[in-house]
Amino acid sequence: KQWYQRRVAITAGNFGTDAAHHGSDPDKWDFKPIVPPISLSTTFKQPAPGQPPVYDYSRAGNPTRTAFEECIAKLEGGKYCVATSSGLAATMLLVNTLKAGDHILCCDDVYGGTNRYFNRVVSNFGIEITMCDPTDLEKFKSNLRDNTTMIWIETPTNPTMKICDIAGVVEIVKKRYEGKQVPKVIADNTFSTPYFQRPLELGADCSINSVTKYINGHTDVVMGVISTNNKEFYDKLTFLIMAVGPCPSPFDCYLALRGVRTLHLRMRQHETNSLAVGRWLEKHPRVSKVIHPGLPSHPQHELAKRQMKGFSGMLSFIIDGGKEEATLFLQSLKVCYDSCICAS
């Protein structure tokens, strides 16, 4: 009850107001639009060569994109945000801050696209990857190396819903590298969104989200975001956006900015629905296990309550049988769809 009252007090704050207004100030533009315009121009007039007033080329920056980035930074409790053309593009941008010989320590249960990118692409460029169970902090600590430059955690994880102790990982990293260059701690916040969890407030250097999922929320945009409070690192990311080019379209930024305005309302309902489904599944005779951090049966339920302000619509469960039975189950769904996109 005490946790629930604290959660309500925190999430009830100004999140919805910030989502609706931050980054969308009409006074940004001379004609005072209530809704930020979709700026489709690829280039902008300069008063003199090499002296752009604000923007020069849309790959580097765009007024519609800026409005969306400012909104997300505010919601994440950060100062800066970089929007990218997909969640994996955001991952790629972060990895592009590394060099050959560096080491990434990543949680062992992670989004399949991240796993594929790290182990089948990044590993080909001289960057070492170690996958480790993030729920065992001592084991996680033992896998840190002198050349570790990035810690990649996802919480809750996809698909087994493990909870990574963000503050615990940050503390271990700071102690291990005291007086040395400290690896960047990256937290994938996609399953929680900034409405239910703010990794930056727990000490992470960056919070990354696949906007494609909950933030946009309408299954019609592919995009990613990176939020941070580190100005030097933000400047490096903005340089890489220009140099590497994984920028989102202005129209997608407009759609995502519109979608995020209802994030707080949608996440509350997602939580209500998933808990109802999870409790029902726990009683079903053909379900052997339900994995939902909001249920007391989850092995890290108490950590989830400390770290998160609520729970999303994501859950996993195991039914009796094997692949054939699982396929039959998915083919028999009447309300949900068997699809590769979740959290939308």
Tens-level pLDDT at each residue, the chain (344 residues): 555 555 555 555 699 999 999 999 999 999 999 999 999 999 999 999 989 889 999 999 999 999 999 999 999 999 999 999 999 999 999 999 999 999 999 999 999 999 999 999 999 999 999 999 999 999 999 999 999 999 999 999 999 999 999 999 999 999 999 999 999 999 999 999 999 999 999 999 999 999 999 999 999 999 999 999 999 999 999 999 999 999 999 999 999 999 999 999 999 999 999 999 999 999 999 999 999 999 999 999 999 999 999 999 999 999 999 999 999 999 999 888 778 767 56
Residue given tokens 């896998």 in the structure block: 143
Active site residue 188: yes
Of 109, 165, 188, 205, which one is the catalytic site residue?
188
Active site residue 111: yes
- The backbone region for 277, taken as left when phi is positive above 0, alpha when psi lies in -120 to 50, beta otherwise, is alpha
End-to-end alpha carbon distance in the chain: 29
- Beta-carbon contacts of 149 under 8 Å, excluding residues fewer than 6 positions away, are 98, 102, 103, 104, 181, 183, 184
Check 111, 195, 234, 254 and give the catalytic one: 111
Q: Which of 65, 213, 266, 305 is catalytic?
A: 213
Given 59, 79, 268, 279, which residue is catalytic?
59
Q: Is 337 tagged catalytic?
A: no
Contacts of 119 (CB under 8 A, 6+ apart): 129
Query: Can you tell me whether residue 80 is helix, strand or coil?
Result: strand
Which residues 6+ apart lie within 8 Å of 90 measured at CB? 82, 84, 208, 209, 210, 224, 225, 226, 246
In whole angstroms, give the CA distance from residue 135 to residue 132.
9
Which DSSP string corresponds to 297-319? TSTTHHHHHHH-SS--S--EEEE
- Check: CB of residue 107 under 8 Å from CB of residue 157: yes
Whether residue 4 lies in the annotated active site: no
